[in-house]
A and B are shown apart, each in its own frame.
Chain A
Amino acid sequence: MTVMPSINSMNMMKEDTFHKFQSQQNEPVWMQAHRQTAWEAANELPLPNLKDESWRRTDIRSLKLEEFQIPGNYEGFSKLVDFRKLEKEAKERFELGRSHGIFLMSRDSLPHGCVGCEKLPEGVVFDYLENVYSRRSELLQKYYSKAVPSNDSKFAAIHYAYQSGGVVVYIPDNTQVEIPLNFYTLITQSGQADFTHVLIILGRMSEASFIRRTGSLEPETPGLHCGVVEIFLQEGAKLRYVDIQDWNQKTWHFSTQRAYLSKDSQLEWIAVGAGGKIAKTNSNTHLKEEGSRVDMLGLICVNGEQHLDYHTLQDHDAPNAASDLLYNCVLDDKARTVFRGMIRVHPNAQKTDAYQKNNNLSLNSDARADSIPGLEIEANDVRCTHGSTTSEINAEEVFYLMSRGISRENAENLIVEGFFETVLQRISSEPIKDTLRTLILRKLGLEEKPL
């Protein structure tokens, strides 16, 4: 891309850029103020470095924030590209024709808009944040940035300063939305930065499924994602949240994700890590009230020189809550994964039932898997267990399959598939299971099932 709107070529860490960006937003005073605070925090907070314990294993010294362009209004953009071609490609990329659900493209992705939103039940909100500033101002002010404050980290602060193109989901009390809600974000230009925010609020006894998927239009264009996901489940609510990180391997990914669970609410949280150059994802579940439950499932598949770093927290702050985590990673080439998980049980959280397991399957001697499963337990009447395994493909299993006539290559592929299958089996929705299986197989280069 040679011709760009002016703001897109400005250094995002410069005061002028922020002010120009802010002046282009048409938003309420509280949001302007929030951006301002975030901007100040973004300037005060240092970039994390290898001396920070939680960044010791992820080196981001080569990240140059000023090389990325903040989202603009893309004036003149349509003159430069064949919009229809782009739309077609985007639809193919996200399999819009095949998938099931109601779709929203991030406002900063092209094309954008909602497919099927008219089918939503009364009172449900599934829209761009910007579109509901005035319509649902009270709701937004109550929840926006309440799970992840703007001074949480440098990346969260930058996110809140430039937050744009994000989505809000609100399901009223006692409302069940059966059809999954899909939110797609596409990086279409080289050097594009993405600051989409995801805010999900489920009312009492409501239910919904939400699939968040990211991708890049081109395989080789650099990108940056600086995102925040906030989830609030009120009493008895049930959410299935699927987060598919599928950027190209030139994209930096920093995401802070937090869920707050009220009494008897349930969250099924599925994280898929397929893309990204260097990715850092913090996923925290706060079990704030009795009877709540979270299942955190991770399917991570990396190759090339990818580096994916996952930090998870199962924070038990109420009695009788349950959490169960299973993250399986497959590594090939020179790829690297870091899994750092923590089960924290506060003194009041008696009768906690918490489990955490990380399995790593390494396909190459140059790959590296770090696993740091942790426990911090301050209540005694609890059952907390964690486990971690790292291994290569089991030669006995390969031998067994080969003795049944299967080629070595197919046998190994079957075993890798089986490794992910143990996680997939825990997913309660068949269509989602199928979608994820297809995605993983493609990443493994096994588009069609062998045999």
Chain B
Amino acid sequence: MTNDVNEQLEVIPQDYKYGFHDDRVNSYKAEKGLSEKVVNVISEIKGEPDWMRQFRLKALQTFYSKPDVTWGADLSTLNFQDIYYYIKPSDRSERTWEEVPNDIKNTFERLGIPEAERKYLAGVGAQYDSEVVYHKLKEDLENKGVIFLGTDQALKEHPDLFKEYFGKLIPPADNKYAALNSAVWSGGSFIYVPPGVHVDIPLQAYFRINSERMGQFERTLIIADEGSFVHYVEGCTAPTYSSESLHSAVVEIFVKRGGRVRYSTIQNWANNVYNLVTKRALCEEDATMEWVDGNLGSSVTMKYPAVILKGRGSHGEVLSIAFAGKGQHQDTGAKIIHVAPDTTSRIISKSISKDGGRASYRGLLKVLEGAFRAKSNVVCDALILDDKSRSDTYPYIEVNEKQVSIGHEATVSKINDEQLFYLMSRGIAEGEASSMIVNGFIEPLVKELPMEYAIELNRLIQLQMEGSVG
């Protein structure tokens, strides 16, 4: 086993695509569109406690009362009434792979999920449309008290722990899409890591939208107790339909004193998925939160993973890669709030736009009064590969404390001609040389991913780059 990404690339089949779907009879499909009735039905099917039903109904009213989002990407073609809010593919979440219905199993097998589990992972969750169909955690971790469940299941099995944290970091009123998610949420992962426990290999969740005009609203809640560590990885794909789908997740993460959470995403939705996600982490004293966020798919993504550095000495990081191809707008970035003294943060964003795509970095870096000795560094680099594409950078920096050190840098450029020429004069054709330079451009972030995800990301970039330069 070597660490060389390109070596690993050889073993991946060339036709690595996710555009297929399977025709299956779902066990329940709610009527199209959003209404109080749909919300009630979801809550009823799930057999939830009344507080959750009330929480959902109140969130729905919040959603209705909030104005449409007018900044960022263009969402004017998104029709909330043309979407299915709940599709239940199967009646239960299985603990062994064999029990998962065959067609769903086939889909995930084509995506390489059980293989990945065997090779690299400490636990796997798989969500198919609205529900988690499979969840499995390695036994030794279970024995150490680690909880890794579908979020619905966690509500049933750990109601007190659940209620203590759920919606506390991202209340429904936070933004319009958080309100929507709070009303119709279904699925997602629930993770609790007890004090001092290190989950050394990643836990993974795989999200798949299979149905047309589907809205997936998973809800993930991670609590890393004092001095613990966990790395959670999510991947997402969807078939290519002619009509739009919507993915609007809410992810809340609590990192207790001295804990560390790393959350990696390879977002590769089909090019007709609106991906509007709210992700936020709260760091207590000396805690560390790291978001590694790769956005390649979707038609529109609006996602700005946030870290609130509430505890003294805590550290937040957002490493983000966006690739905007034809018809895509990746409006992504980061949000870091320094609340306590001696907090540090780092944001590195790399974007590539191509074939008329638009990549925007939108970030907020805020230092509150009293967060003395806060240090932050933001670097945004963008590559524009042709004259049809666009790149924007909108960093917001608000500093309310003098004893700080804040730096921000951003650069937009095309592929460097001299580098291209150097590679070509060594026999490498222009297309491949460009591809190599693009991979080199994002390499500092790719190397932060587990090997198999790094390979996947490089592979995806290579597919996006194909035929780009003639």
Contact = CB atoms under 8 A, between A and B. Distances in A.
Given A360-B399, A374-B393, A388 B404 contact: no
A367 B405 CA distance: 15
5 contacts: A369-B399, A378-B389, A380-B385, A385-B409, A389-B407
Interface in B378-415: 382, 384-414
A44 interface: no
A365 B393 contact: no
A1 B248 CA distance: 63
Contacts of B395: 371-374, 388
B369 interface: yes
- Which of A363, A372, A390, A391 has most B Cβ within 10 Å? A390
B398 A377 contact: no
A379 to B, nearest CB: 6
B372 interface: yes
Interface of B: 71, 367, 369-370, 372, 382, 384-414
A366 interface: yes
B390 A390 contact: no
Interface residues of A, number: 36
Contacts of B71: 53
Contacts of A392: 402-405
Contacts of B390: 376-378
A381 B387 contact: yes
B402 A367 contact: yes
B398 to A, nearest CB: 5
Nearest to B391: A377
Contacts of A388: 395, 397, 406-409
Given A368-B400, A378-B390, A385-B412, 7 more contacts: A362-B401, A365-B370, A371-B408, A384-B411, A390-B406, A392-B402, A392-B403
A432 B369 CA distance: 37
Contacts of A379: 384, 387
A386 interface: yes
Contacts of B397: 369-372, 388, 390
B404 A374 contact: no
B346 to A, nearest CB: 15
Interface of A: 53, 331, 347, 350, 360, 362-392
A391 B384 contact: no
B399 A365 contact: no
A375 B414 contact: no
A368 B413 CA distance: 32
Contacts of B369: 365-366
A363 B402 CA distance: 6
A362 B413 CA distance: 32
Contacts, number: 119
Contacts of A367: 402
| Minimum-distance CB pairs A-B, first 7 | A362-B402, A375-B393, A380-B384, A390-B406, A371-B397, A388-B408, A384-B412
A380 B406 contact: no
A374 B392 contact: yes
A384 B413 contact: yes
Contacts of A382: 384, 412-414
A363 B367 CA distance: 15
A350 B387 contact: yes
A316 B187 CA distance: 48
Contact of B391 (A371, A375, A383): A375
Contacts of B402: 331, 362-365, 367, 392
Contact of A365 (B382, B403, B414): B403
B396 A389 contact: no
Contacts of B370: 365
Contacts of B403: 365, 392
A372 B394 contact: yes
B193 to A, nearest CB: 36
A383 B413 contact: yes
Contacts of A376: 390-392
A373 B407 CA distance: 12
Given A365-B369, A381-B387, A389 B408 contact: yes
B399 A390 contact: yes
Contacts of B387: 347, 350, 379-381
Given A380-B385, A380-B387, A375 B410 contact: yes
B400 A385 contact: no
Nearest to B407: A389
A140 B209 CA distance: 64
A362 B367 CA distance: 13
Given A369-B399, A374-B394, A388-B395, A380 B414 contact: yes
A387 B384 contact: no
B393 A362 contact: no
Nearest to B376: A390
A370 B410 contact: no
B396 A372 contact: yes
B409 A370 contact: no
B408 A373 contact: yes
A386 B390 CA distance: 17
A377 B392 contact: yes
A306 to B, nearest CB: 16
Contacts of A368: 398-400
Contacts of A364: 402
Nearest to A336: B400
Contacts of A381: 387, 414
Contacts of A350: 387
A387 B410 contact: yes
A360 B369 CA distance: 16
Given A370-B397, A372-B394, A362 B404 contact: yes
B412 A377 contact: yes
Contacts of B384: 377, 379-380, 382
B414 A370 contact: no
Nearest to A340: B396
B406 to A, nearest CB: 4
B404 A390 contact: yes
Contacts of B386: 380
A367 B369 CA distance: 9
A386 B393 contact: yes
A347 B370 CA distance: 44
B376 to A, nearest CB: 9
A364 B404 CA distance: 11
A368 B394 CA distance: 19
Contacts of A389: 405-408
Nearest to A386: B410
Contacts of A360: 399
A331 B385 CA distance: 41
B291 to A, nearest CB: 22
Contacts of A365: 369-370, 372, 401-403
Contacts of B410: 373, 375, 385-387
A71 to B, nearest CB: 38
Contacts of B412: 375, 377, 382-385
A387 B399 CA distance: 15
A391 B389 CA distance: 35
Nearest to A367: B402
Contacts of A386: 393, 408-410
Given A391-B404, A392-B403, A380 B398 contact: no
A17 to B, nearest CB: 37
Contacts of A391: 404-406
A380 B398 CA distance: 30
Contact of A377 (B372, B382, B399, B407): B382
Contacts of A384: 411-413
A398 to B, nearest CB: 13
Contact of A385 (B392, B399, B407, B411): B411
A387 B71 CA distance: 23
Contacts of A371: 395, 397-399, 408
A380 B414 CA distance: 5
Contact of B389 (A370, A380, A383): A380
B399 A370 contact: yes
A388 B411 CA distance: 12
